[in-house]
Amino acid sequence: MLSPSELLAQVDQTLKDRSPELVSLRRELHAHPELSHHEYETTSLLAATLTEFGLKVYPREEGTGFYADLTPEGFNPATQPTVAIRTDIDALPIFEANEVSYASTRPGAMHACGHDVHMTVATAAAMAIHEFRDHLPGRLRLVYQHAEEVSEGGASDMVSFGAIDGVDAILAVHCDPQLEVGRIGLRAGNLTAAYDSFTIKITGKSGHGARPHHCVDPIRVSAQLLNALYQMPVQYFDSRDPVVLSVGSLHAGDSFNVIPESAEFKGTLRTLTQESRGRLEPVMRKIIEGICMAHGATYQLHFEHGAPSVVNSAQLIDLFEDVGRAMLGDQGIYRIPLPSMGGEDFSYYLQHIPGAMFRLGTAGPGTRTRHLLHSDKFDVDDRAITLGARLMSRAALTLMQRLANQELALTPPPQAVFATSGAE
Residues belonging to the active site: 90, 148
374 labelled binding-site residue: yes
DSSP lists the bridge partners of residue 244 as 270
Determine the Cα–Cα distance for residues 194 and 173; give it in Å rounded to an integer: 18
Give Cα separations from 164 to 54, 106, 264, 336, 350 (angstroms): 20, 32, 40, 27, 10
279 three-state secondary structure: helix
Amino acid identity at 256 = F
135 is in an annotated binding site: no
Helix (H) or strand (E) holding 402: helix 383-404
**Which residues lie below 8 Å from residue 101, measured CB to CB, with a gap of 6+?**
27
Could you tell me where the DSSP H helices lie in 40-142?
40-52, 115-129
What is residue 19's three-state secondary structure?
A: helix
For residues 181 and 173, give the distance between their C-alpha atoms in angstroms, rounded to a whole number. 14
403 and 81 Cβ atoms separated by less than 8 Å: yes
Is 292 annotated to bind ligand?
no
Which backbone phi and psi does 364 adopt, to 5 degrees?
-110, -170
Residue set of the binding site: 113, 115, 149, 174, 374
Residue set of the binding site for Mn(2+): 113, 115, 149, 174, 374
